[in-house]
């Protein structure tokens, strides 16, 4: 017995209808793949999606400060609101797949957002065809700027969650990843990490390179701080609530024979919980100035919080697994645990902070791709099987139906 609120016959109908849509979804995905755009201003991508949604009974609102699309489908029966999301932007990479529909410019859909968009269009078509029996409303969130972790927050600020007149009771998102095509992976709790920026600056006293004893050289002091910060993360933080501190840029001086007065390191800080972030912030705020003071210098550390961790709702994720298992078979659905969280970031987290959410993976490596040719997301060589688009659309539509019907 599963926890689904919709009949097996409806699940089967959605699957069959999604396969009928598949050729159109593949065509849309490949058109999007050939012409990717990056960031929050995606006019060509937005227009392609508007053309694909044309004729559906949707209330459409376009973003003011970004090329987003918010489309609301109002069901024929009263009920709550659910949200389905697909991200739109590509990456500044030159594609090297050699596919006949590959991008020829300086950008690439190397993270599968072209599939996310096409799959969400498919879900909109499936649900629009069943508008009269839909017990509530669905918000379709087409979001730019995920790769720069800006778009979701901007859409929230522009009123995304109020688009249907009341806030959603649930939100869903699917992300394609390498792996056996057509398999789903779901986990409750933290799914992706928060992303924050770190800046450490040491203030010393400049001088001539031949007379370091007359100066306070900030460079070795900064080097000592960097090493101590790495030890702090590995020795003072709970390995089961991980923190990753990665300092990626160093700046100091402009001449070989001049000791600079200042040195700076910058990077990122990733976290899966607010508690871990607060703990490392507190420890770094003591460590950095203390090391500098021991050398007669001063130093400061600035941590700017960015995207929060994406946390899946336990109940909603269990419900999602039940629906997907009944729809596609339990052998295609893997229920994961919290240890499977990835330390990359995903700005759907801004939605999950506001609405109970279920964000999960759909594996999509082409079956004919040799194992040694499989690349991961963000690689210029990565390939995805657009044969999953029908199942992606059906899954989103079924989850929306199930949550609306189970609300009562």
Helix-strand-coil split of the chain, %, nearest 5 = 40, 25, 35
Residue among 85, 287, 111 at smallest CA distance from 172: 85
Contacts from 364-368 at CB under 8 Å and sequence distance 24+? Answer: 364/112, 364/115, 364/176, 364/177, 364/178, 364/179, 364/181, 364/182, 364/388, 365/178, 365/179, 365/180, 365/181, 366/181, 367/181
For CA atoms 151, 89, 113, 122, give the dihedral sign.
positive
In this structure, the strands spanning 310-312 and 189-192 are antiparallel
Length of the chain: 408
Whose CA is closest to 139, among 154, 157, 153, 127? 127
* 378 marked ligand binding residue: yes
27 is in an annotated binding site: no
Has 113 been labeled as part of a binding site? yes
Q: Which residues of 211-222 are buried (b: 16+ CB within 10 A; e: fewer)?
A: eeeebbbbbebb
Say whether 302 counts as a known binding-site residue.
no
Residues 301 and 226: beta-carbon distance below 8 Å: no
- Cα separation, 269 vs 343, in Å, equals 10
**Annotated binding-site ranges for Mn(2+):** 111, 113, 147, 175, 378
**Annotated binding-site ranges:** 111, 113, 147, 175, 378
């Amino acid at each position: 017995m599963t926890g689904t609120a919709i009949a097996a016959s409806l699940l089967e109908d959605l699957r069959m209808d999604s396969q009928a849509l598949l050729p159109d979804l593949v065509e849309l995905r490949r058109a999007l793949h050939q012409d990717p755009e990056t960031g929050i201003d995606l006019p060509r991508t937005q227009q392609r999606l508007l053309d694909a949604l044309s004729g559906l009974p949707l209330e459409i609102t376009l973003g003011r400060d970004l090329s987003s699309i918010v489309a609301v489908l109002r069901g024929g029966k009263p009920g709550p609101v659910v949200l389905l999301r697909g991200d739109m932007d590509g990456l500044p990479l030159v594609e090297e797949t050699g596919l006949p529909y590959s991008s020829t410019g300086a950008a690439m859909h190397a993270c599968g957002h072209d599939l996310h968009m096409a799959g969400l269009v498919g879900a909109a078509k499936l649900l629009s065809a069943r508008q009269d029996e839909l017990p509530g409303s669905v918000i379709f969130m087409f979001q730019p700027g995920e790769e720069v972790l800006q778009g979701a927050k901007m859409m929230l600020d522009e009123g995304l969650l109020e688009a249907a007149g009341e806030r959603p009771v649930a939100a869903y998102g699917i992300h394609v990843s390498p792996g056996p095509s057509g398999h789903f992976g779901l986990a409750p709790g933290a799914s992706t990490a928060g992303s924050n920026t770190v800046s450490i600056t040491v203030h010393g006293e400049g001088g001539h390179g031949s007379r370091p004893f007359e100066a306070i050289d900030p460079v070795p002091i900064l080097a000592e701080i960097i090493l101590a910060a790495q030890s702090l993360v590995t020795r003072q933080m709970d390995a089961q609530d991980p923190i990753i501190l990665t300092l990626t840029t160093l700046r100091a001086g402009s001449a070989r024979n001049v000791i600079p007065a200042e040195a700076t390191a910058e990077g990122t800080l990733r976290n899966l919980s607010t508690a871990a972030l607060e703990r490392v912030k507190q420890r770094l705020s003591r460590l950095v100035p203390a090391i500098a003071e021991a050398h007669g210098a001063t130093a400061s550390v600035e941590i700017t919080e960015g995207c929060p961790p994406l946390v899946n709702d336990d109940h909603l994720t269990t419900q999602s697994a039940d629906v997907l298992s009944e729809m596609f078979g339990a052998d295609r659905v893997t229920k994961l645990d919290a240890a499977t969280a990835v330390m990359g970031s995903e700005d759907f987290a801004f939605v999950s902070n506001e609405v109970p959410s279920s964000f999960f993976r759909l594996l999509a490596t082409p079956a004919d791709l040799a194992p040694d040719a499989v690349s991961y997301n963000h690689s210029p060589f990565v390939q995805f099987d657009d044969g999953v688009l029908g199942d992606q659309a059906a899954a989103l539509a079924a989850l929306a139906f199930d949550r609306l019907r189970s609300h009562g």
